[in-house]
Amino acid sequence: MRSFVCACRGIWAAVKTERNMRIHLAAVYYIILVCILFGFAAYETALAALACGLVIGAELLNTALERLCDGLEPGRSPLVKTVKDLAAGAVLVCAAAAVTVAAALLWRRGGFLPDLLRHPAVWAGAAAAPFWFWFVFGFGGKK
């Protein structure tokens, strides 16, 4: 149980201080909303959840590496810069894979935008947009 609490504390620390983590969480909200609104099959929802988990996990590892590097080498170092760039690149690769999964799932359904604009429950997403804007840009730390 203690390791679970520690893990949750780490996730919360990233949410409080990392804008990119909050951006990813906002995207996850909308992905979940789309899965629900369009009645995705269980395997489609599982693929979307796996892709989301991959991106969130990569962002957490990126944050951990950045903090470790900053703690070990507070000044500017070419090695630290390379390590940070590699970790950010890993997040980018995971995010690109997640976008590919989303595109494939939506393509399989014959499009997305026309259905979305006709769906009355789309207001759930629109109504939440101000909250997510605040969450991403006004919540937590400066990063």
CATH number at residue 116: 1.10.287.3610
Asked if the structure places residue 126 within a domain, the reply is: yes
Q: Is 73 a catalytic residue?
A: no
Asked if the structure places residue 33 within a domain, the reply is: yes
Asked if the structure places residue 100 within a domain, the reply is: yes
Label residue 111 by pLDDT band (50, 70, 90).
low
pTM of the model: 0.81
Q: How many domains does the chain have?
A: 1
The C-alpha atoms of residue 113 and residue 124 are separated, in whole angstroms, by 16
Asked whether the predicted pLDDT for residue 143 surpasses 60, the reply is no
pLDDT (0 to 100) of residue 83: 94
Mean pLDDT, range 20-29, rounded to an integer: 93
Domain that holds residue 121: 16-137
pLDDT (0 to 100) of residue 107: 78
Asked if the structure places residue 4 within a domain, the reply is: no
Asked if the structure places residue 10 within a domain, the reply is: no
Cα distances from 2 to residues 16, 71, 118, in angstroms, run 21, 25, 47
Mean pLDDT, range 8-32, rounded to an integer: 93
- Which has more pLDDT, 59 or 32? 59
What percent of the chain shows pLDDT beyond 70?
87
Closest CA to 106 of 67, 23, 48: 48
- Of the listed 18, 59, 66, 73, which one is catalytic? 59
The C-alpha atoms of residue 77 and residue 71 are separated, in whole angstroms, by 12
Asked if the structure places residue 2 within a domain, the reply is: no
